Amino acid sequence: MDVVPFGCRCRCALDRPRVVDRQRASALRFGDARVQSLLAALLAFRVLPDGFQNRDLRETAAPLMGLSVEEYGRAAA
């Protein structure tokens, strides 16, 4: 029997979609560049008392991926 480290099991569980009580939850693809840029951009907004809008997030996340705001929006489609 292969021994799998605990952290690997947790990461694998997050990287795959799940169905709990007939409700599907999307996976968190931490290895994906788009996910990494989105998480980094979200951290930039953590201290804003009035929150932020989707456009603010796109303007911050796009350069992290080397894209313009327009290209970032098309990449999501």
Spans of all domains in the chain? 33-76
Per-residue model confidence as pLDDT tens digits over 51-72? 888 888 888 888 988 889 888 8
Arithmetic mean of pLDDT over the chain: 78
| pLDDT band at 77; cut points 50, 70, 90 | very low
pLDDT at 42 over 60: yes
Instruction: Please compute Rg for the chain using Cα positions.
Output: 16
pTM exceeds 0.75:
no
SS3 25: strand
